A and B are shown apart, each in its own frame.
Chain A
Amino acid sequence: MRKLMPTIAVMALSVPALLGLSGIAQAQDKFKLGMAVGGNTCCEWMKAQGDVARALAEKAGWDYVELSNNNDPAIALKNAQIFVQEGVDAVIQFNGQPSANAAISAVLGAAKIPVVTYDIADPGMYFVGIDNLAAGIAGGEQLGLIMKEKWDCNPDLVISSEGAGAGIVNEWRTGGMRTGVKNICPGIPDEKYISFEGSGDAAVALPAARDLLAANPNAVKMAVVGINDGGMLGLINAAEQLGRADEVIGWGQDGAFITGDNVNPHLAGSVFYFLEGYAVYAIRDVIGPIAEGKDVPLKADPGDPASKVQPCPVSAEQAKAVPDMPERVVALLAAPAGTTEYDLFCPNK
């Protein structure tokens, strides 16, 4: 019964496709890839994901259609419907609003279009991405090691900069980091773990972080974890404003602000995901074989993914060897097919 409605929908949608449009008929000879980028303004890699996918599709001689999910579930669903109408042969999506995933799966599944989803799993979609939980734990453990060395595992606070809007990814990354810290420093009492909502955006996190620090006026040795580099920078900047940044140590996620000349000295490290280069994995392991007509088994679970992206934890020192995102993209596209950014740039593989 679940299939009936989407089938009717697809039948209705396919009527115009048969209305003798020569353009579409020609396009169906070439493999057509559709990509829905996340559209959240927080992060530069969202747009870059599309750019890389476009370049790789062009290299492979495919047609390419890109839409933006605009971080809105209704628009993500609309984009899925447009992909069906445009007759794409495969879809890659980054959907930051997974509440719509069930409906998107239904629409694309009924049209028999395989879908690759980045980082946020759905039972009907090929999972390409990082095990965010494992990445979180890895980062947390690195931070734990520093805390052990500097403070003998005795901080005043372990602060989490949450990004609740990211839903489960926030639980994995931020929660995972806390787990990683606990793995190395199990003796830290629970009341030393506090959180604030930073929305993963440094400017938005700043006032909230200030208030949190004011409410804990005696804390000096502070370890910071968070959903991404930006959210943590909010806390580090707040600590600087309140004059308490001397013993703040943060370990980030996604590596957005640990490259280049403008790195904050309190960011001890981060975990590179090289998110902008995910298309390499998707195309190498899923889309490419599908385009060649091979049958690729559906692997939707982050623990057993269709393509596993390796996280790359780096200290700030090691990160100096890693170029900025725009340069990484250029190098990636110049490299031979199938080379991942992890291969090219991770200093400690």
Chain B
Amino acid sequence: MSDTPMTDTAASRAAQPFVLPHHPIRDALTGSVASIAFTFIVVIAVGLIWIGPKFVSFGNVSIVGTFLIVPLIVGAFAGFALLAGVVDLSIGSIVGISAAIFAYFISHQWGVLPAAGITLGVCLVIGGLNALAIVRFGADPIAATLGMLTALRGITWVLCGNQRMIPAFDIDYFTLINRQVLGLPLFFLVAILLTLIAAVIVARTRLGRHLQAVGGDDRAAARAGISVQGVRTAALLLSAVGGGLGGIIYVGQLGSAAGATGLGLEFQVYAALMIGGYSILRGGVGNPIGGALGLLAVAGVSNILDLKAISPYYVNIIVGLLLLAAVLLDRFRGGDAYE
């Protein structure tokens, strides 16, 4: 699976974007981003009608934004991997183990930066192991990262000990993470900025082009002289680093790491990314802005149901339906028909 992209026909291969240079604005007006932008606007409209102006107030947006900081950052990095055609299901567990490691060092009075450095170093090792299995050995990414997910979660439980948590409260760090700027959480704005930077990387830089090339058609990419193994490894490393950053930020937000930190995050992120136009089965499609809009749309739905005190299980039903709708739309737009 790892080096067999799922493009089926010559016609749909022509629709693969890797040959054309990307223009972020043109992309935004056509293609997958348009669909998710439309969905997002519908969600906002429903919220406004059903709940009122409170829905888009600074306060409410702050709440949603605070909650989305980690998913947005993790999603932006995981999106790079999806572009390259590798799906890393272990991101939730990477977030968990990073939170545990970071919290451990913080609680032992290390500084934030050294602790973060070590945590990200460990994440690079984890990403490297993923790459070893998937790129070097050709393991199926879904199954391999599923294994990594389980193993890391077990290690996290062990690290968190009997209490299943590591309290780690550093006042300066807590204040920084939760700071507000212009009425919105600072790190939410940082996450948005990161998404925009990611979009530029994808559209304008060589790394971005290589990621899409490898994800779209790895044989053509190899013929063009791109190191497919190198790009895929880089993608997995990036994905792991994203998870690391997520864990580090969670510790700042919650003041601790728990055995359950990040549990289930991969489903939340990938469902939203797919709703936003990425595919976990074929690379080369997807745009970071679309991914972020997917996360925002799902969070918006969840927020509406919260404010209306409707059971949160309905969110999952809506997410499942949106997911089906999104891949259906993707197919109509020239994506692969399954058969």
Residues in A lying within 8 Å of B, measured CB to CB: 1-2, 4-6, 8-9, 12-17, 19, 21, 23-24, 39, 65-68, 70-75, 77-79, 81-82, 85-86, 97-100, 102-103, 164-168, 170-171
Contact = CB atoms under 8 A, between A and B. Distances in A.
Given A2-B171, A5-B179, A97 B66 contact: no
Contacts of A72: 260, 263-264
20 contacts: A8-B180, A12-B59, A13-B62, A15-B57, A15-B59, A16-B57, A70-B312, A72-B263, A75-B67, A77-B66, A85-B59, A99-B256, A99-B257, A100-B254, A103-B253, A164-B157, A164-B162, A165-B164, A167-B164, A170-B162
Contact of A74 (B163, B183, B250): B250
Given A14-B59, A167-B164, A167-B165, A24 B171 contact: no
Interface of B: 52-54, 57-60, 62-63, 66-67, 70, 157, 162-165, 167, 169, 171, 174-175, 178-180, 183-184, 250, 253-261, 263-264, 306-307, 309, 311-312
Contacts of A70: 312
A201 B70 CA distance: 30
Main secondary structure of the interface of B (DSSP, over half): mixed
Given A13-B59, A16-B54, A99-B165, A74 B254 contact: yes
Nearest to A197: B157
A168 B63 contact: no
Given A12-B62, A78-B63, A73 B178 contact: no
A239 B154 CA distance: 27
A12 B54 contact: no
A80 to B, nearest CB: 10
A99 B60 CA distance: 24
A78 B66 contact: yes
Query: 3 smallest A-B Cβ distances: which pairs?
Result: A16-B57, A99-B258, A99-B256
A46 B174 CA distance: 31
B166 to A, nearest CB: 8
A62 to B, nearest CB: 14
A167 B52 contact: no
Contacts of B258: 73, 97, 99-100
B158 to A, nearest CB: 11
A82 B306 contact: yes
A85 to B, nearest CB: 5
Contacts of B53: 19, 21
A168 B163 contact: yes
Nearest to A16: B57
A23 B255 CA distance: 35
Nearest to B70: A74
Contact of B52 (A21, A66, A71, A75): A21
Main secondary structure of the interface of A (DSSP, over half): helix
A23 B178 contact: no
A98 B160 CA distance: 13
Nearest to A6: B178
A178 B63 CA distance: 43
A81 B52 CA distance: 18
Given A73-B261, A165-B164, A103 B255 contact: yes
Nearest to B54: A21
Given A5-B178, A164-B162, A81 B250 contact: no
A178 to B, nearest CB: 14
A99 B254 contact: yes
Nearest to A75: B67
A12 B312 CA distance: 27
Contacts of B263: 72
B63 A85 contact: yes
B163 A167 contact: yes
Contact of B66 (A1, A14, A81): A81
Nearest to A96: B260
Contacts of B63: 78, 81-82, 85
B58 A15 contact: yes
Contacts of B175: 1, 4-5
Contacts of B62: 9, 12-13, 81
B171 A171 contact: no
A14 B264 CA distance: 32
Contacts of A100: 254-256, 258
A60 B59 CA distance: 29
A77 B162 CA distance: 23
A103 B307 CA distance: 21
A171 B66 CA distance: 32
Contacts of B66: 77-78, 81
Contacts of A68: 311-312
Given A15-B57, A71-B260, 20 more contacts: A2-B171, A5-B174, A5-B175, A8-B180, A15-B58, A15-B59, A16-B57, A19-B53, A23-B52, A23-B54, A70-B312, A74-B70, A82-B63, A85-B54, A86-B307, A97-B260, A98-B165, A99-B164, A103-B255, A167-B163
Nearest to A70: B312
Contacts of A71: 260
A231 to B, nearest CB: 15
A185 to B, nearest CB: 24
A124 to B, nearest CB: 12
A12 B183 contact: yes
A65 B58 CA distance: 21
Contacts of B183: 12, 15
A72 B253 CA distance: 13
A165 B162 CA distance: 9
A25 B102 CA distance: 44
Contact of B57 (A19, A98, A102): A19
Instruction: Pick from A39, A74, A168 the residue with the most CB of B within 10 Å.
Output: A74
A38 to B, nearest CB: 12
A74 B60 CA distance: 16
A65 B180 CA distance: 26
A66 B309 CA distance: 6
B103 to A, nearest CB: 9
